[in-house]
Chain A
Amino acid sequence: MRKILLGIAITSTLFTSCSNDDDSNNQNTQVEAPLTYQFARGGNSTVNFEGQTTRIQMAMAFSSALNDNTKTAADLQGMFSHMEGENNFSDAELNASGKNIRSKVAASKDYFSANTTVSNDIKNLMDSWIEQQATTVFVNKDVTATTGTAGKLQQAGGGSIRYVNAKGLELNQAISKTLIGALMTDQMLNNYLSTSVLDEGSNIDNNNKDVVENGKPYTTMEHKWDEAYGYLYGNEDNPESPVLDADSFLNTYLNQVDADPDFAGTASAVYDALKLGRAAIVAKNYDVRDAQVAIIRENISLVIAVRAVHYLQGGKEELAAGDTARAFHELSEGLGFINSLQFTRQPNTDAPYFTHEEVTGFMAKLMESNGFWDVTPETLDSMSAAIAAKFGFTVAAAAD
């Protein structure tokens, strides 16, 4: 996989040099990616994505709070839509930040700038999940969950206790896994890697002439690309050489998919494309850049699809084995990943692999009547098959 990708990258530089009638300065430049994600101008690093790091850290704190039954709905909503100076977090730096999670949920330029109505629907669903977590799940923390009643369920063999709503859905999982799509993936694939953002205004001209942002060492285009990088690697100790498993979001699930031999190489494909694409911006070679965008979009989208199918299948097996708690846990993660599918991006199109309507239909199917309490293996299999087929992998490949 790796070799092939490298081959492709080289071929692509050769091929793209034939389109030499555009107005870039150095269209014949051979683009070479550095060993690690390290770029400098005049001795100063040009890489910066602290805003992304902040939002990932907010999302991590929020995600743990969703499991803390001492929190009120207002506490949780405060973390989700933090306002500068409010003490929603235990970390003073996060409290001081003017950023928040909610404002970047379903907020990419390509998908949502002219789709605020759908964006609001997505955010409103998350708001209602957050509210329910406090008002229906936390209050029933000592009740054993049964069909139609929220409460706790313990995994077999004295395992973890899971807290579910009346339909068996672990809301914290649905929320966290939705964020992987709605925040990280959407911002990365449909905002910062989009030509509508990378090439906005005079960005190409400024990048061609090395005109940097006021008081900064980077051009706007370089910075936008780095912000995409930051949504994936922003919480790494040393982001230029990522080791993965550095958050509980996209970074970690890229690692998990990569660890499946059927999808080995996915992580390096993404990293290599991000490096080469950034180098292409420095070299002002936008054809090479855009070819990397396609690679990133395909592979990041794949991560979400593989995990969706993985958890649907895992849930099905646990249901068969009679471990309701473990089954509902996996199905809840699956539902969140399914919701995230609407933020994927089919390379070289303006469309996700599954639309908002399609994922809403999938989720409704999983939640119909008593939800996970009476979902059938046939439903889980047909949904898994539909997702896998669209991406061109097998259900079996994702299941293990």
Chain B
Amino acid sequence: MIKKIVLFLGLALIVSCSTSDDSPSGGTTDDFDRAALLTNLADNIIIPSYQDFGPKLSTLKGAIESFVATPNQSTLNTARTNWLTAYKAWQHVEMFNIGKAEALNQYYYFMNIYPVTVSDIETGVNTGSYDLNSSNYHDAQGFPALDYLLYGVASDDAGILSKYASDANAQGYKDYLTAVIDQMDSLTQQVITDWTTVYRNQFVNSTQNTATSSLNKFVNDYIFYYEKGLRANKFGIPAGVFSTAPLPEKVEAYYNQEVSKALSLEALNAVQNVFNGKAFNSSATGASFKTYLEHLNTNRGGQNLSTIINDQFNLARTKIEGLNSSFSQQVTADNSKMTDTYDVLQMAVVYLKVDMVQAFNISVDYVDADGD
């Protein structure tokens, strides 16, 4: 026993002397062209993603206006179709919480906080008194509020239509629905305008490695989104990873009941496309986290880190594809498939948040707040 300890410590000491530093293998000096990476991100991914999302949101706004003017099954269906189209496009921009999006006190707080607090919406409908700019209403607006207002205010379509047509509060519902889409549209236009006027150059030219440089912030936002927006919100929270029991009512698009899987696949594709520097509008690829890691020759256990990360994303996609299209039904029917998917997503957190950031020499500016 004692001999074993001594032997083991001896080995540990030898090892500790032979390591030169604790960075991942490679050790090439970092002469990677960060400006090229930032340019590819801005010009081929971020701005095109917003330019796809913006018009889809405007189309949704028009559809909601038509529904509000003439609430019937046809206008409701059109509004719902455009809601889903815009919601899918949103999955490609939620991670870009930088520039104007950040300056708006977190644009995504106004776009996709779920689950919604139904009582806040219903009280707002009843009283006409609400403030969508207040943080109290972050969970009473955006796509999740539209989800409730278009799918959840009554148990069937006839009931939903009557809320907007004949209900005593019909005007209140119309006003609230209009206020929500107007807020979303207005904020989105501000973000897009900022990118296409001043922020693009600012973003691309900030090539240093400081806590406030573009890439440092972007990498942090990217990993934060992956960990929180994708992994936790879409999978971990409903699967009960952070609670005593599963919470099937906390899935994205809960009232629609059919698209939580489709939205999460969009989100995963968006994450992987950014990682690989794949242009939004074509299959072309450019400077990216992937090429940066390859430039640094970053390995993990003898394998390219960029390959490991892509493999993990692909495995996650396979897992997600095997789930029920409604995650709340999946959680209720067989939660272990949901946690199994979560586990695969979580594996990539380590690769991104430990290995990748070490290779880039970037500090993570947030930590899990889960201690005693």
Interface residues of A (CB under 8 A from B): 1, 4-5, 8, 11-12, 15-16, 18-19, 21-23, 49-52, 54-55, 81, 83, 99-100, 102-103, 113-117, 120, 196, 200-203, 205, 220, 223-224, 227, 230, 263, 287, 290-291, 294-295, 298, 347-348, 392-393
From DSSP, what is the main secondary structure of chain A's interface residues?
Answer: helix
Report yes or no: B9 in contact with A294, Cβ–Cβ below 8 A: yes
Tell me, yes or no, whether B12 is within 8 Å of chain A by CB: yes
For residue A315, give the distance in angstroms from its CB to the closest CB of chain B.
24
Report yes or no: A19 in contact with B16, Cβ–Cβ below 8 A: yes
From DSSP, what is the main secondary structure of chain B's interface residues?
Answer: helix
- Per-residue CB contact flags for chain B residues 275-293 toward chain A (1 = under 8 Å, else 0) read 0000000000000000000
Tell me, yes or no, whether B133 is within 8 Å of chain A by CB: no
Q: Which residues of A contact B1 (CB under 8 A)?
A: 263, 392-393
Candidate in A19, A117, A392 with the most chain B CB atoms within 10 angstroms: A117
Q: Which residues of A contact B16 (CB under 8 A)?
A: 15-16, 19, 287, 290-291
A347's contact among B8, B340, B365, by CB below 8 Å, is which? Answer: B8
Q: Which residues of B contact A393 (CB under 8 A)?
A: 1
Additional pairs, 12, CB under 8 Å, beyond known A11-B13, A116-B339, A291-B13: A15-B13, A49-B372, A51-B372, A100-B244, A103-B244, A114-B344, A116-B236, A120-B339, A200-B367, A263-B1, A298-B5, A347-B8
Tell me, yes or no, whether B364 is within 8 Å of chain A by CB: yes
B336's contact among A15, A18, A83, A120, by CB below 8 Å, is which? Answer: A120
Report yes or no: B336 in contact with A1, Cβ–Cβ below 8 A: no
Report yes or no: A201 in contact with B346, Cβ–Cβ below 8 A: no
CA distance A4 to B91 in the complex (A): 59
Report yes or no: A295 in contact with B363, Cβ–Cβ below 8 A: no
For residue B169, give the distance in angstroms from its CB to the closest CB of chain A.
35
Report yes or no: A99 in contact with B372, Cβ–Cβ below 8 A: yes
Q: Which residues of B contact A295 (CB under 8 A)?
A: 5, 9
Interface residues of B (CB under 8 A from A): 1-2, 4-6, 8-9, 12-13, 16-17, 19-22, 236, 239-241, 244, 335-336, 339-340, 342-344, 346-347, 349-350, 354, 363-368, 371-372
Given known contacts A19-B16, A205-B363, A348-B12, is B346 in contact with A114 (CB within 8 Å)? yes
Q: Which residues of A contact B354 (CB under 8 A)?
A: 196
Report yes or no: A15 in contact with B17, Cβ–Cβ below 8 A: yes
Q: How many A-B residue pairs have CB under 8 A?
A: 109
Given known contacts A8-B9, A117-B343, is B372 in contact with A21 (CB within 8 Å)? no
Can you list 23 A-B pairs, Cβ within 8 angstroms, ordered by A? Answer: A8-B9, A11-B9, A12-B12, A15-B13, A18-B17, A21-B20, A22-B21, A51-B371, A83-B244, A103-B244, A114-B343, A114-B349, A120-B240, A120-B335, A120-B336, A196-B354, A200-B364, A203-B367, A205-B363, A227-B372, A291-B13, A294-B12, A392-B4
Report yes or no: A117 in contact with B340, Cβ–Cβ below 8 A: yes
Q: Which residues of A contact B368 (CB under 8 A)?
A: 200
Given known contacts A8-B6, A51-B372, A224-B371, is B239 in contact with A116 (CB within 8 Å)? yes
Given known contacts A52-B372, A114-B343, is B367 in contact with A201 (CB within 8 Å)? yes
Chain A residue, CB-CB nearest to B345: A114
Q: Which residues of B contact A102 (CB under 8 A)?
A: 244
Q: Which residues of A contact B4 (CB under 8 A)?
A: 392
CA distance A12 to B9 in the complex (A): 8
CA distance A51 to B370 in the complex (A): 12
Report yes or no: A23 in contact with B346, Cβ–Cβ below 8 A: no
CA distance A132 to B289 in the complex (A): 52
Chain B residue, CB-CB nearest to A100: B244
Report yes or no: B2 in contact with A4, Cβ–Cβ below 8 A: yes
Chain B residue, CB-CB nearest to A104: B372
For residue B220, give the distance in angstroms from its CB to the closest CB of chain A.
10
CA distance A15 to B16 in the complex (A): 8
Given known contacts A12-B13, A18-B17, A117-B336, is B8 in contact with A294 (CB within 8 Å)? yes
Q: Which residues of B contact A100 (CB under 8 A)?
A: 244
CA distance A100 to B244 in the complex (A): 10
Report yes or no: B371 in contact with A21, Cβ–Cβ below 8 A: no
CA distance A359 to B4 in the complex (A): 24
Report yes or no: B350 in contact with A114, Cβ–Cβ below 8 A: yes
Chain B residue, CB-CB nearest to A49: B372
Q: Which residues of A contact B366 (CB under 8 A)?
A: 201
CA distance A81 to B245 in the complex (A): 10
CA distance A220 to B340 in the complex (A): 31
Closest 5 CB pairs of A and B: A51-B372, A114-B346, A201-B367, A15-B13, A117-B339
Q: Which residues of B contact A99 (CB under 8 A)?
A: 372
Given known contacts A201-B367, A393-B1, is B12 in contact with A291 (CB within 8 Å)? yes
For residue A103, give the distance in angstroms from its CB to the closest CB of chain B.
7
